[in-house]
DNA sequence: CGTAGTTTTGATGTCAGTCAAAATGTGTGG
DNA sequence: CCACACATTTTGACTGACATCAAAACTACG
């Protein structure tokens, strides 16, 4: 593929502080930038990679959002996570070099591609990059544990409240409003991710609206009472900030 | 702590092929052995580490089994996983250096302690060890994804069948029988792990027994019809082998 | 404006949870 | 070795949260 090497540096990227280069020295970042492959922008429903395909890269989200899902032997999709800017996609391929899920764009989006071979070489040269990789993987594992607790031990209302709260915090961390944002995913995706049906999602959104906690209009969400939303989630305790990946 | 450095080598360990040293050269294994701290054997309910404690080590299970759980703000335990010989415990601490769960022994057990500082240094010296770490972390993530699907999309019977099947495969991989084994965990632990109640666990065990698929007597399990058990799990498709961690 | 996709709303059914008690197992001290 | 207390597991009756089924309302797009 004739895609040119990136000309933009992580140094200028507004996401640098929450992405892979966080904590690296500027000369180390230069080395990292050299291995980045820029991919052309993606449109809604474009596939970043497919389940079972051989995989040689990780991807950092530059803009837009993504959904990862596993398709089982009966053809049912099971959503594993959503990804926002600054997050790393494709960590599930580290074990075998094959993707265990499919990842598609939920809207117009772009990513930085990080070829695994180059990344591994670089980790040998830059011990702090290796540490950063381990930190990111540790974060992914913690986030998965939070999802396990959510799915194993929480009611439909708590699941939906947690879902909104985690979006709120993530958008806030990106510098956007944490009380007003648009959902880039369909109700179907939300339901599948939370292990409930679309009807239940719809009804719980309606309840939260009736209680005056949120206002919702199709994809648009406005959180009127953030603290009450947090109170619903409170017993879950674990940090919703990292629940989305 | 005056615990002496290990005198036994990974080279002699029957678990070497499924544990951290897998694929390393013998001189590299020697370096790895040097950083291992042997901990004294543990008894049932002994704590390996506690949630929120600072953590400077990973642990590889040498014998016995462990249970990890998160305690929420209401004091409820939520079991995250079980660990058998050859598996690495404590990966959740990689992000912040603090454990996010508590891990206790389910029976008499022993571990190899791997201080993180030494392990990181060694990864710089031995690139293939770094790769192996990434592979193990990737496997953990895949295993967590399987749990997410199990909890989000499967019935009580499918959950229990999957649970038994994963134990079967794991014990088989360790060289034990894959159709007859003892459960080291209580019904309460199984229920909590699977996101169902103990009563439901008990009833589903009874059903599987009535159907002649398994025989169960307290902690003892005998699988009469492995293929039927697999058929129940089949729609889930994803590899139960890595579901337990 | 018509067709197809998505979301909401309503009526009904069911799987697993809750509550309660019996059965079984485990440990301790006399 | 037995008696008693306590923990764990099983069984039964009832309930409820969410799923399922069905249809209407809304949106988008050619």
Residue range A138-166: average pLDDT? 95
Q: Where in chain A is the domain with CATH 1.10.10.10?
A: 152-243
Which 8-state DSSP code applies to residue A42? B
Asked whether residue A7 carries a pLDDT value surpassing 80, the answer given is: no
Q: How far is B37 from chain A (nearest CA, A)?
A: 22
Which residues in chain B touch residue A145, judged by CB atoms under 8 angstroms apart? 70, 80, 92, 100-101, 144
Contact A46, A104 (CB under 8 A): yes
Residue A47 has pLDDT above 90, yes or no: yes
Terminal Cα-to-Cα distance of chain B (whole angstroms): 29
Where in chain B do CATH 2.60.120.10 domains reside? Answer: 10-148
Q: Of the candidates A94, A148, A234, which has its C-beta nearest B148's C-beta?
A: A148
Q: Which of A19, A23, A193 is nearest to A106 (CA)?
A: A193
Q: Is the CB of B200 under 7 A from strand D?
A: no
Nucleotides in chain D with any atom closer than 7 Å to protein CB: 8-13, 17-22, 27-28
Domain B10-148: give its CATH superfamily: Jelly Rolls (2.60.120.10)
Contact indicator for B199, B160 with CB cutoff of 8 Å: no
Q: What is the pLDDT of residues A211-233, one digit of tens each?
A: 999 999 888 999 999 999 999 98
The residues near A176 (Cβ < 8 Å, ≥ 6 apart) are: none
Residue A1 has pLDDT above 90, yes or no: no
Has residue A241 got a pLDDT over 50? no
Q: What percentage of chain A has pLDDT greater than the value 70?
A: 92
Give, for all 245 residues of chain B, the pLDDT tens digit. Answer: 444 444 567 888 889 888 999 989 999 999 999 999 987 889 888 999 999 999 989 999 999 999 999 998 888 889 999 999 999 999 999 999 999 999 999 999 999 999 999 999 999 999 999 999 999 999 999 999 999 999 999 999 999 999 999 999 999 999 999 999 999 999 999 999 999 999 999 999 999 999 999 999 888 999 999 999 999 987 655 544 445 55
> Residue closest to D10, CA→C1'?
B202
A54-74 pLDDT, tens digit per residue, is: 999 999 999 999 999 999 888
Q: How far is A76 from chain B (nearest CA, A)?
A: 9
Tell me the pLDDT of chain A averaged across its residues: 89
CA distances (Å), B65 to each of A89, A184, B68, B184, in order?
32, 43, 10, 7
Mean pLDDT, to the nearest integer, of A148-176? 95
Q: Which residue is nearest to nucleotide C8 (CA to C1')?
A: A202
* CA B242/CA A133 separation, integer angstroms: 22
Contacts of A100 in chain B (CB under 8 A): 142, 145, 238
One of 3.40.640.10, 3.40.50.1000, 3.30.420.40, 1.10.10.10 is the CATH number of A152-243, namely 1.10.10.10
Split at pLDDT 50, 70, 90, the class of A40 is: confident
pLDDT of the residue at A236: 57
Partner-chain residue, chosen from B139, B193, B237, that has the shortest CB–CB distance to A73 = B237
Residue A74 has which token pair? 């009966």
In chain A, alpha helices (H) = 26-35, 116-125, 127-153, 156-173, 187-194, 198-210, 226-233
Do residues A109 and A15 make contact, with C-beta atoms less than 8 angstroms apart? Answer: no
Say if residue A150's pLDDT is above 90.
Answer: yes
Mean pLDDT, residues A106-118: 94
Contacts of A79 (CB under 8 A, 6+ apart): A67, A68, A69, A189, A192, A193
- A124 contacts in B (CB within 8 Å)? 124, 127, 130
pLDDT for residue B8? 65
Q: Which residues touch strand C (CB under 7 A)?
A: A 186-188, 198-199, 201-203, 205-206, 216, 218-219; B 155-157, 195-197, 199-200, 218
Nearest to B132 by CA among B5, B3, B22: B22
């Amino acid at each position: 593929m004739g895609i040119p090497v990136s000309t933009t540096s992580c140094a200028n990227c507004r996401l640098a502080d929450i992405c892979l280069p966080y904590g690296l020295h500027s000369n180390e970042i230069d080395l990292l930038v050299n291995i980045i492959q820029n991919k052309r922008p993606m449109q809604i429903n474009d596939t970043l990679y497919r389940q079972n395909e051989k995989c040689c890269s990780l991807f950092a989200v530059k803009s837009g959002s993504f959904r990862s899902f596993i398709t089982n032997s009966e053809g049912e999709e099971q959503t594993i996570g959503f990804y926002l800017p600054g997050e790393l996609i494709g960590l599930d391929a580290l074990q075998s070099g094959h993707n265990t899920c499919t990842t598609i764009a939920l809207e117009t989006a772009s990513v930085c591609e990080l070829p695994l071979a180059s990344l591994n070489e670089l980790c040998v040269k830059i011990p702090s990059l290796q540490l950063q990789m381990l930190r990111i993987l540790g974060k992914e594992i913690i986030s998965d544990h939070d999802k396990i607790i959510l799915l194993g031990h929480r009611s439909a209302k708590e699941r939906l409240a947690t879902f909104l709260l985690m979006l709120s915090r993530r958008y806030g961390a990106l510098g956007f409003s944490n009380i007003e944002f648009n959902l880039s995913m369909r109700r179907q995706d939300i339901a599948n991710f939370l292990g409930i049906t679309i009807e239940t999602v719809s009804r719980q959104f309606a309840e939260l609206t009736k209680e005056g906690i949120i206002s919702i209009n199709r994809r648009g969400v406005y959180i009127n009472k953030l603290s009450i939303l947090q109170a619903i989630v409170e017993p879950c305790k674990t940090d919703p900030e990292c629940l989305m990946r």
